[in-house]
Amino acid sequence: MRRGTLHVGLIAFGLVLGLSGCGGKAVKVTGTVTFDGSPLPNAVVKFIPTEKGGREATGLTNADGTFQLETFAARDGALPGDYKVTVQYQEPVAQTDVPAPQPGQSMKAMWDASQKARKEQQKKAPKYVIPAKYSQPGETVLKQRVPPEGPVRFDLRSK
């Protein structure tokens, strides 16, 4: 009698875990992000679950604006469910023009030159400014269901 109760309890526990979104198999999700009609490179695409027990999935857009999501492993996709989506632009890390060290130059002089170059790089405006309605989790208007019906497409507008 006790053994039967234990088995029923374990089965019920397994069903609860399965239905609550814990675990599960990721579904491949690919897509494209454009900004004012052009591909958006170097953007972080985040799928934020709207249901408890979900897991966030992220992807980085290529030069052509395409991305593949990952949750647990590279390009594995996202767990089934409903998501709000954010797109955040990351300026590519550029090599700063730091003068080459000169023979006999002090460490302080090299440090000062590298800091000056870094500050100059920071003064440059980002190439794209993504509006909060796409980039902020609390304000995003972007939504997506997984599994999607084919590739996902997000066409963002600056205005």
Instruction: Detail the DSSP E strand segments found in the chain.
Output: 30-35, 38-39, 43-49, 57-60, 66-68, 81-89, 142-146, 152-156
Q: What are phi and psi of 39, to 5 degrees?
A: -55, 140
Dump pLDDT digits (tens) for 102-145. Answer: 777 788 888 888 888 888 777 777 778 899 999 999 999 999 99
With CA atoms as reference, report the closest residue to 58 among 38, 79, 39, 41: 79
In this prediction the pTM is: 0.69
**DSSP label at residue 70:** B
| CATH, domain range 25-97+105-156 | 2.60.40
pLDDT digits (tens, 9 = 90+) for 45-70: 999 999 998 999 999 999 999 999 99
